[in-house]
């Protein structure tokens, strides 16, 4: 065989995840407390699991409509109506996806032509750039700052708009910062989208996990529903990460385009997960509220703990992450994460994994038991004392 | 404020300082609320849920259905009081349905429980009859599953 590149240039150009190497270190250590996870520590509430099991017993093992089970789409339409006053036609404007991850991929592939630009805020979820690239687009990052609680500034977005800008990509509440946009800030972003005729892809997978504030759904802002691809899911709110069920809601033309890709690449989301998701929407509200209350307590303990040990941390209002500054140690975020893991057996994710401006921070997930959070903060306190910049 | 008691109900060893951090309620208010609750018996007691089976000292517990004749003026209360004053009666509830009082009785041996029911409980004035159900196995106690549940591990690092 002639020597040539087996792997496409497109894929070769995607930089490997900086997190992978931590796996090897982790595997060699005992007694690690991981604040590096990206999912709830709750098991899916039993009644939802039971609905999944029951669906198997009843023989629900087939494909579903490419769009997903109609009853689930109807429940989602009802939910978006009652929670945010949004009207979506469950027949044509909602698509069930394999997690929000697939929804994001479909959205990008459906709207981007080669060279189109997508403006997104950083630090932000790791798949935003590669998903844009793989769809042929170019991700244009806009930095956000702790002074502004990592909210994205509409003026900063507008400065990056060019003739090639096709879309904005928003991810609030934010993984990794825990920052949440307020309504006024989102309205300004909406004005930019309006002025430059941009599509807005809004990843709101953490919408239910907010603390002391009310989440504003971007699509619910005046005039925005038509230009928004709303991405939602079950993973975070209902502790259903492994079921892989998400959804996209947008105008018919867009959903049809996304469905076209979905039917050829994925066909449909797993039926058992869809059946469980119906149960989640119908009967799961109380459990969501209980879990949110629990996260809220852990959030306070972690944030106060970090501030007490000299890792300055703003108060996150959403998701389940704290994003403390590690600048008092003088270490880079990767060095901090690696040394902390080796010396104190606490795993965190370096902030630069989420974009250049995440340097100087680490992401710590508080979806772990209170006892582990307290122990982790103590260990990190020892670590910081040892490594404080002189 | 109810949040304070939810936390204590889940883990009575949480300190006022920890509760203040968890809830964002000022420490002095947390302390005040707990003091007040202890005074007015909103908090009845702090105790541990012990799995005695693990210590080889499993207790014998029976749920006793008691049918009673209500009395003029005091209804079921007077006879309920005569029953709950016995230390063997761990819990006493007035029930709707085919019997009146549910009494949880605990003892070291089956004989001990049986003798309490036959010697003390059944002969009481006003008690019409009893049905005793012995507890065979505990699966869940006060919201806690007794067997340690094995849980699959989460991926420790995930973006």
pLDDT of residue B147: 82
Query: Which of A11-20, A320-329, A363-372 shows the lowest per-residue confidence on average (mean pLDDT)?
Result: A11-20
Query: What residue in B sits closest to A354 (Cα-Cα)?
Result: B159
B156 to chain A, any CB pair closer than 8 A? The answer is: yes
B20 to chain A, any CB pair closer than 8 A? The answer is: no
Confidence grade of residue A178 (pLDDT, cut at 50, 70, 90): very high
How high does pLDDT run on average in chain B? 92
Q: From CA A156, how far away is CA A143, in angstroms rounded?
A: 8
- Kindly report the nearest CA distance between residue B155 and chain A, in angstroms: 7
Q: State in words which class domain B52-137 has.
A: alpha beta
Using DSSP's 3-state secondary structure scheme, residue A48 falls into helix
Q: Which ranges in chain A are annotated with CATH 3.40.640.10?
A: 46-283
Confidence grade of residue A48 (pLDDT, cut at 50, 70, 90): very high
Confidence grade of residue A119 (pLDDT, cut at 50, 70, 90): very high
B55 to chain A, any CB pair closer than 8 A? The answer is: no
Q: What is the DSSP letter of A358?
A: G
Residue boundaries of the structural domains of chain B? 2-39, 52-137
**pLDDT tens-place string over residues A91-104:** 999 999 999 999 99
pLDDT of residue A368: 95
- Kindly report the nearest CA distance between residue A337 and chain B, in angstroms: 11
Confidence grade of residue B144 (pLDDT, cut at 50, 70, 90): confident
- C-alpha distances in angstroms, A283 versus A45, A75, A96, A214? 10, 11, 19, 22
pLDDT of residue A210: 98
pLDDT of residue A171: 98
> What distance lies between CA B140 and its chain's CA centroid?
13
Task: Decide if B18 and A36 are in contact by the 8 Å CB cutoff.
Answer: no
Is residue B79's pLDDT more than 70?
yes
C-alpha closest to that of A198 among A238, A160, A242, A149: A160
Q: From CA A44, how far away is CA A276, in angstroms rounded?
A: 10
Contact of A308 with B18, CB cutoff 8 Å: no
H helix intervals, chain A: 9-12, 20-27, 46-57, 70-84, 99-111, 128-134, 154-159, 183-195, 252-265, 271-283, 285-308, 333-344, 370-387
Q: From CA A337, how far away is CA A351, in angstroms rounded?
A: 9
Contact of A318 with A178, CB cutoff 8 Å: yes
> What distance lies between CA B62 and its chain's CA centroid?
14
pLDDT of residue A20: 78
Confidence grade of residue A72 (pLDDT, cut at 50, 70, 90): very high
Q: Which ranges in chain A are annotated with CATH 3.90.1150.10?
A: 9-44+286-384
Contact of A261 with A134, CB cutoff 8 Å: no
Task: Decide if A301 and B21 are in contact by the 8 Å CB cutoff.
Answer: yes
Is residue A2's pLDDT more than 80?
no
What sign results for the dihedral spanned by CA atoms A100, A102, A107, A112?
Answer: positive
ipTM: 0.78
Looking at residues A154-176, what average pLDDT do you find? Answer: 98
Q: Look at the domain A9-44+286-384 and name its fold.
A: 3.90.1150
H helix intervals, chain B: 2-10, 16-23, 27-39, 77-84, 110-115
- C-alpha distances in angstroms, B39 versus A13, A116, B3, B28, B44? 68, 68, 18, 16, 9
Q: From CA A189, how far away is CA A159, in angstroms rounded?
A: 12
- Interface test with chain B among A370, A371, A376, A378, by most B beta carbons within 10 Å: A370
Q: Look at the domain A46-283 and name its fold.
A: 3.40.640
CB within 8 Å of B106: residues ≥ 6 apart: B59, B60, B61, B62, B88, B90, B113
Q: From CA B80, how far away is CA B124, in angstroms rounded?
A: 11
| Cα radius of gyration rounded to whole Å, chain B | 21
Task: Decide if A37 and B155 are in contact by the 8 Å CB cutoff.
Answer: yes
Q: What tokens does A61 get? A: 């093992």
Looking at residues B79-99, what average pLDDT do you find? Answer: 95
* Beta-carbon count within 10 A of A183 CB: 12
**pLDDT tens-place string over residues A184-239:** 999 999 999 999 999 999 999 999 999 999 999 999 999 999 999 999 999 999 99
Is residue A1's pLDDT more than 70?
no
């Amino acid at each position: 065989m002639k020597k040539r590149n087996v792997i496409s240039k497109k894929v070769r150009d995607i930089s490997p995840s900086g997190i992978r190497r931590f796996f090897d270190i982790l595997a060699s250590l005992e007694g690690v407390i991981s604040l590096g996870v990206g999912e709830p520590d709750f098991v899916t509430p039993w009644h939802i699991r039971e609905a999944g099991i029951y669906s198997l017993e009843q023989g629900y093992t087939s494909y579903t409509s490419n769009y997903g089970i109609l009853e689930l789409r109807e429940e989602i339409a009802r939910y978006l109506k009652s929670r945010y006053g949004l009207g979506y036609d469950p027949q044509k404007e909602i698509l069930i996806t394999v997690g929000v991850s697939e929804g994001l991929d479909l959205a990008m592939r459906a709207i981007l032509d080669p060279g189109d630009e997508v403006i997104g805020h950083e630090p932000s979820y790791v798949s935003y750039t590669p998903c844009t690239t793989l769809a042929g687009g170019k991700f244009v990052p806009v930095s956000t700052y702790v002074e502004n609680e990592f909210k994205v500034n509409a003026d900063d977005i507008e400065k990056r708009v060019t003739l090639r800008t096709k879309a904005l990509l928003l991810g609030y509440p934010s993984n990794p910062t825990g920052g949440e946009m307020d309504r006024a800030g989102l309205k300004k972003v909406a004005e930019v989208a309006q002025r430059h005729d941009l599509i807005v892809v809004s990843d709101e997978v953490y919408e239910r996990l907010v603390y002391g504030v009310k989440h504003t759904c971007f699509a619910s802002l005046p005039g925005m529903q038509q230009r928004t691809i709303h991405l939602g899911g079950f993973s975070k709110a209902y502790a259903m990460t492994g079921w892989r069920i998400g959804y996209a809601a947008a105008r018919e033309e867009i959903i049809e385009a996304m469905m076209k890709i979905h039917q050829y690449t994925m066909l449909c989301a797993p039926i058992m997960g869809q059946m469980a998701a119906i149960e989640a929407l119908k009967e799961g509200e109380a459990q969501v509220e209980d879990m949110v209350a629990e996260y809220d307590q852990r959030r306070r303990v972690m944030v106060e703990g970090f501030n007490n040990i000299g890792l300055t941390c703003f108060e996150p209002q959403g998701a389940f992450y704290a994003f403390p500054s590690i600048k008092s140690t003088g270490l880079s975020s990767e060095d901090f994460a690696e040394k902390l893991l080796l010396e104190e057996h606490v795993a965190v994710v370096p902030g630069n994994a989420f974009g250049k401006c995440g340097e100087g921070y680490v992401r710590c997930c508080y979806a772990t038991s209170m006892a582990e959070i307290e122990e982790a903060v103590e260990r990190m306190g020892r670590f910081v004392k040892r490594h404080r910049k002189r | 404020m109810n949040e304070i008691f939810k936390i204590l109900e889940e883990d009575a060893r949480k300190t006022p300082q920890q509760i203040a951090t968890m809830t964002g309620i000022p420490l002095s208010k947390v302390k005040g609320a707990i003091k007040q609750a202890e005074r007015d018996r909103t908090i009845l007691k702090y105790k541990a849920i012990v799995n005695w089976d693990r210590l080889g000292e499993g207790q014998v517990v029976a749920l006793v259905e008691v049918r009673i004749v209500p009395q003029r003026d005091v209804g079921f209360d007077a006879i309920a009081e005569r029953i709950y004053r016995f230390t063997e009666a761990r819990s006493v509830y007035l029930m709707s349905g085919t019997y009146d009082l549910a009494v949880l009785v605990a003892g070291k041996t089956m004989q001990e429980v049986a003798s309490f029911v036959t010697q003390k409980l059944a002969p009481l004035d006003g008690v019409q009859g009893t049905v005793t159900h012995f507890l065979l196995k505990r699966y869940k106690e006060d919201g806690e599953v007794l067997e340690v549940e094995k849980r699959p591990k989460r991926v420790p690092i995930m973006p």
